[in-house]
Chain A
Amino acid sequence: MNPGGEAALLVRVRKQFASGGRRGFQLDVDLALPPGITILFGPSGSGKTTLLECVAGLRRPEAGRIAANGLTLFDSNQGIDLPAARRAMGYLFQELALFPHLTAQENIEYGLGRLAPAARRQRSRALAESLHIAHLLERYPREISGGERQRVALARALVIQPQVLLLDEPLSGLDAAVRSKIIEDLRAWNAAQRIPIVYVTHARDEVHALGERVVVLEEGRVLAQGTPQEVLEAPRHEAIAQLAGFENLFDATVRALHPAQGTMTCRLQGSEVDLEVPLMRVEAGARARIAVRAGDILLATVPPAHLSARNVLAGTLASIQQMGVTVVAKVDCGVRVEVHLTPGARAALELRPGLAVWLVLKTHSCHLAG
């Protein structure tokens, strides 16, 4: 399976591409991925899908080498370019690409044409059972729900026993409950098969739920890679900050430096709000971007006093909404700030829109990004 200790999936590609009429840029990556789930993380247009398509053989890179489990699939120097049909990649398309004229079962069995009908049936049945879609095999894609379609498409990609699994935003557009169930199934499958799985997403919760490794891609380049904790907890780049769930990202101007305290004061753009943030090597008047996690902000319904935190912002609760186990509050303090609370806190504070609230931000919860 993995001769010579070589990484299970090697991808070194260079490809010029244009994204949606914007200025083109170059996909230029060099990755060595072991078996298991690798999250490919980045904003839309960063080249994630193009990278998957190169690996699957749906697009041809200008240069590079792609090898899976010791078998060269593409090598520009040696003139090797295996067609997609012979690469044995399981590919889950973002739009699923289920065949509308075939039933769920026929979709799943599509890639098993070389097996005898009985063997085909057995394989598709077994997988359908484990993905909880056995009851809808006779139905057509348009007759089943979004989550069910996703499972059918996943089954279609898995049933061919691929040597690499490529998943392009497989859970986008699904509600949280369905998502976490599919993530469970995928983890179980991963534990059993241990093949390289490349999982494209721009949702942070999926990174934490699934990822053993994350590769951050921006404008066709690898910005960072490592465990989700390493990469996402300490954002050095604005792009990562935004993606890593720093829900609040403010443009600001540096007003004053306080070297003695190790802080500086920044005025958030378009507001009268000043924040005290960790000192950086900048001049007063410089621009900065400040990233703050919604979960790092405290919310109070009376003016807080005697605090160590330097930043207390008065505002009005604009909206409050429960998303899964998180309560998302949007607070207007001259700038719109997102705060995450627990449902218990919401009940205890009797939060409702229009309420006057105070936000407390520790200086060191204010990260400078960009």
Chain B
Amino acid sequence: MEYGFLPFALLGGVLLLYLAAPLLCLLFQVDWRGVSAALGDARALRAIRVSLLTSTVSTAAMTLLGVPLGYVLARARFRGRRFLAALVFVPMVLPPLVGGILLLLLFGPYGLAGARFEARGIALVNSLKGIVLAQVFVAAPYVVIAAMSAFEAVDEQLEQAAATLGDSRWRTFRRVSLPLAWPGIAAGVTLAWVRTLGEFGATLVVAYHPNTVPVFLWVQLTGEGLSAALPLALFLMALAAVAMAAIFLLGRLPLPGTRPGREPLRIP
């Protein structure tokens, strides 16, 4: 490294150390036998099941709805496009607790939409549905923004070329835009998935029950203290590590259908 980088490296190193130290410290403090016992606990297992189920459903929903939205925001020319794109950022800048309160106002038993479901005997809050609602609200922007920037990075002329070769918009999307944007989208989807697994604030307000892993973690922390919470924290960290690895690998994947090993794509 060039000598001139030294002051930068020193300042940056302090931050890096601060970020890594808690992880290292944790690994030395964990009582590994306690971990397997704690994760064998029925309530913990239930929380893990709830978390995996809801995060899968909400990630699927976000992808199905968010990728088309990203495509429209990236490509369509219409008035108010920038405003709508800005709207996508709102859940990202809102504190999750506030997001939860907004969702409660809408979907709660006396809320505008919630009351109608309640009348048909469908409870949205304090149910798996409520958890999914909270997770989608908080994490969907990750999918939309990743999709938007991935589609924007696809040369528009490629889509025009597909059009002159007889492709409808849908066929162009399927044969050109999506394959080229996919690595970026996949990274966004993975990030969103991790975000749903860790979602706490909005979920706490909308659906305290059934407990997701983060909510159960909080219950354990406040009820029984640090040692009871640690194994669950480790579990969430393991999932985060999986996601990190996935994003890293996605970033090195070649374009679908091409030979591997050259020009890895960058994740925005």
Contact = CB atoms under 8 A, between A and B. Distances in A.
A156 B165 CA distance: 8
A100 B161 contact: no
Contacts of A310: none
A25 interface: no
Interface in A81-130: 83-91, 93, 95, 97, 99-102, 110-111, 113-114
B36 interface: no
Contact of A93 (B161, B171, B257, B259): B161
Contact of A101 (B157, B163, B257): B257
Kindly state the interface size class of chain A when it binds its partner: 20 to 34
Q: Interface of chain A, helix or strand or loop or mixed?
A: loop
A113 B257 contact: no
Contacts of A339: none
A85 B160 CA distance: 9
A275 to B, nearest CB: 46
A338 to B, nearest CB: 35
A57 B256 CA distance: 29
A142 interface: yes
A56 B157 CA distance: 13
Interface string A230-257: 0000000000000000000000000000
B243 interface: no
A17 interface: no
B176 interface: yes
B75 to A, nearest CB: 14
A87 B257 CA distance: 29
A268 B71 CA distance: 57
B102 interface: no
A91 B259 CA distance: 28
Interface in B133-188: 155, 157-158, 160-168, 171, 175-176, 179-180
A57 B169 CA distance: 13
Contacts of B41: none
Contacts of A157: 164
Contact of B163 (A85, A95, A140): A85
A196 to B, nearest CB: 15
A85 B255 contact: no
A97 B160 contact: yes
A100 B179 CA distance: 10
A100 B180 CA distance: 8
Contacts of A83: 163, 168
Contact of B164 (A56, A114, A142): A56
B258 interface: yes
B2 interface: no
Contacts of A134: none
Contacts of A282: none
A10 B30 CA distance: 79
A84 B168 CA distance: 9
B224 interface: no
Contacts of A99: 158, 161-162, 176
A101 B258 contact: yes
Contacts of B255: 100-101
Interface in A149-201: 156-157, 160
A50 to B, nearest CB: 13
Nearest to A110: B165
B185 to A, nearest CB: 14
B164 A89 contact: yes
Nearest to B254: A101
B155 A97 contact: yes
Nearest to B155: A97
Contacts of A80: none
A335 interface: no
A58 interface: yes
A89 B166 CA distance: 9
27 contacts: A56-B164, A57-B163, A83-B168, A85-B164, A85-B165, A85-B166, A91-B160, A91-B161, A93-B157, A93-B160, A93-B161, A97-B157, A97-B161, A100-B158, A100-B180, A100-B255, A101-B179, A101-B255, A101-B256, A110-B165, A110-B175, A113-B167, A113-B171, A114-B166, A140-B258, A142-B262, A156-B165
Closest 3 CB pairs of A and B: A111-B165, A97-B161, A84-B163
Given A85-B163, A101-B257, 17 more contacts: A56-B160, A56-B164, A84-B160, A84-B164, A85-B165, A88-B166, A91-B164, A93-B157, A97-B157, A99-B161, A101-B256, A110-B162, A111-B164, A111-B165, A113-B171, A140-B259, A157-B164
